[in-house]
């Protein structure tokens, strides 16, 4: 079996890389959500071969892209996706915006669960809709539970027309159970609220947990949702700016597609669809080994923090490589906290309050890097905190 070397250090500096070229040279970047791993070798080989052809004219749609999305959903999650349900999109966030425009009107309410992935805080008001936040409830062990009572109250409001679900959840690393998802679906159906399920982190789920695609819950759920996917987090190909929406209901699919057609925004790119097809058709081995490697990083981090930096607490993490670090015992205001880690430890992370309510006192740490880099970052954090 092909073995990927996740310990390999790849120099990303000077490649117009947001993660590495934003901060000074001596800062270890543990922030934005891409990995520091090379993508699978079959992807590199396919891109090189295609590049060597030397002609990159308009691509025609042979449904290979759609088939690869359907293949992955079936293989990994047991969901039978018809290729006619799949729509090419220029990544996940544009797909969420298209869905918002197709299924809601300006002035409507859109429910998200807080703390929430920071671009959700922008795209909703920027498109003239209102955010209604359902705060996830912090449990004694540091994990989070869904507040179903408040969720129903928000969904039942007259102008609430969409629930934007992040499953698994960024930033708290929660993998929702079938029971939780079914309850969310039933509440949305009861109150006539459409669901957009952002499942970009679905491949990175740790032992004992299982990702359930929202559209696979029931026929009713399938008819009331758009599921947004992208292998970019798993295979480190976010820069190719391509993703997909899965819309099982034909009428919904037509509503979603109309503005793309009106804006002629459906054009694919040669170097966008090809890597996705290769990842989803040939690279299961990589996804399996990645999760195993990340599990090792998570165990290392949890042990290191518990024994050497007891002022910090690692949120119990079921999914994603984004770790929600509780730094409340450091008693620092949000700006002070991120400045402390950046200036004193020379480690860049995402500051928690940028994710909205419930984020103050937290930092989000991306552990998708070679173990040696994680160790170096943690040692710097330990030394800086010990000097306080
Ligand atoms: C929950 C979530 N959705 C969407 C995105 C961005 O997706 P894309 O680059 O496909 O727009 C991210 C990236 O971190 C994310 O965490």
* Same domain flag for 301 and 380: yes
The residue behind tokens 């999914």 is 319
User: What does the radius of gyration of the chain's CA atoms come to, in whole angstroms?
Assistant: 21
Q: What is the pLDDT of residue 263?
A: 85
Instruction: List all residues whose CB is within 6 A of at least one atom of ligand 1.
Output: 33, 91-93, 117, 166, 170, 198, 200, 230, 232, 238, 243
* Same domain flag for 246 and 369: no
Rounded to whole angstroms, how far apart are CA atoms 318 and 324?
A: 11
Q: Above pLDDT 70, what percent of the chain?
A: 100
Work out which ligand 1 atom sits closest to the CA atom of 32: 14
Are the C-beta atoms of 152 and 204 separated by less than 8 Å?
no
Work out which ligand 1 atom sits closest to the CA atom of 170: 1
How many A from CA of 91 to the centre of ligand 1? 8
How many A from CA of 75 to the centre of ligand 1? 22
* Same domain flag for 276 and 288: no
Instruction: Write the burial class of residue 338 (CB in 10 Å: 0-12 exposed, 13-18 middle, 19+ buried).
Output: buried
> Of 6-10, 121-125, 263-267, 352-356, which gets the smallest average pLDDT?
263-267
- The string of pLDDT tens digits covering residues 13-60 is 999 999 999 999 999 999 999 999 999 999 999 999 999 999 999 999
CA-to-CA dists, residue 275 to 22, 53, 83, 152, 198, angstroms: 26, 16, 18, 40, 20
* Same domain flag for 203 and 122: yes
Domain range spanning residue 299? Answer: 18-41+284-386
List the residue whose alpha carbon is closest to atom 14 of ligand 1.
33
How many A from CA of 330 to the centre of ligand 1? 29
Q: How many C-beta neighbours within 10 Å does residue 330 have?
A: 16
- The string of pLDDT tens digits covering residues 282-329 is 999 999 999 999 999 999 999 999 999 999 999 999 999 999 999 999
Are the C-beta atoms of 311 and 29 separated by less than 8 Å?
no
Instruction: State the CATH number of the domain containing residue 305.
Output: 3.90.1150.10
Q: Which of 282, 303, 331 is the last residue of a domain?
A: 282
Q: What is the pLDDT of residue 141?
A: 97
């Amino acid at each position: 079996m092909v073995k990927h070397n996740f310990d390999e250090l790849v120099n990303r500096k000077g490649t117009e890389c947001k993660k590495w070229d934003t901060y000074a040279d001596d800062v270890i970047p543990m922030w934005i959500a891409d990995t520091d791993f090379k993508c699978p070798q079959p992807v590199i080989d396919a891109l090189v071969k295609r590049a060597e052809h030397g002609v990159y004219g308009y691509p025609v749609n042979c449904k290979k892209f759609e088939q690869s999305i359907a293949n992955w959903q079936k293989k990994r999650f047991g969901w039978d996706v018809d290729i006619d349900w799949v729509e090419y999109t220029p990544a996940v966030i544009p797909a969420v915006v298209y869905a918002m425009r197709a299924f809601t009107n300006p002035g409507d309410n859109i429910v998200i669960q807080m703390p929430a992935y920071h671009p959700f805080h922008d795209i909703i008001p920027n498109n003239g809709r209102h955010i209604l936040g359902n705060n996830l409830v912090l449990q004694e062990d540091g994990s989070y539970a869904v507040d179903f009572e408040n969720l129903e109250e928000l969904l039942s409001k007259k102008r609430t027309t969409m629930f934007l679900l992040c499953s698994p959840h960024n930033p708290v690393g929660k993998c929702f159970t079938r029971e939780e998802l079914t309850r969310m679906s039933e509440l949305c159906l009861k109150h006539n609220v459409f669901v957009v399920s952002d499942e970009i982190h679905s491949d990175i789920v740790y032992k004992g947990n299982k990702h359930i695609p929202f559209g696979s819950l029931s026929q009713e759920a399938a008819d009331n949702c758009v599921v947004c996917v992208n292998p970019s987090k798993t295979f480190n190909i976010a820069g190719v700016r391509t993703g997909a929406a899965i819309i099982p209901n034909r009428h919904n699919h037509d509503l979603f597609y109309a503005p793309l057609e009106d804006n002629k925004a459906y054009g694919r790119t040669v170097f966008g669809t090809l890597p996705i097809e290769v990842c989803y058709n040939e690279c299961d081995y990589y996804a399996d080994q990645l999760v195993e490697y990340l599990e090792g990083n998570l165990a290392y981090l949890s042990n290191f923090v518990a024994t050497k930096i007891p002022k910090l607490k690692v949120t119990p993490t079921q999914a994603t490589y984004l770790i929600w670090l509780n730094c409340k015992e450091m008693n620092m205001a949000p700006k002070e906290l991120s400045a402390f880690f950046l200036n004193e430890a020379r480690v860049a992370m995402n500051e928690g309050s940028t994710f909205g309510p419930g984020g103050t006192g937290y930092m989000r740490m991306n552990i998708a890097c070679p173990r040696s880099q994680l160790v170096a970052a943690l040692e710097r954090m330990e030394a800086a905190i010990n000097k306080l």
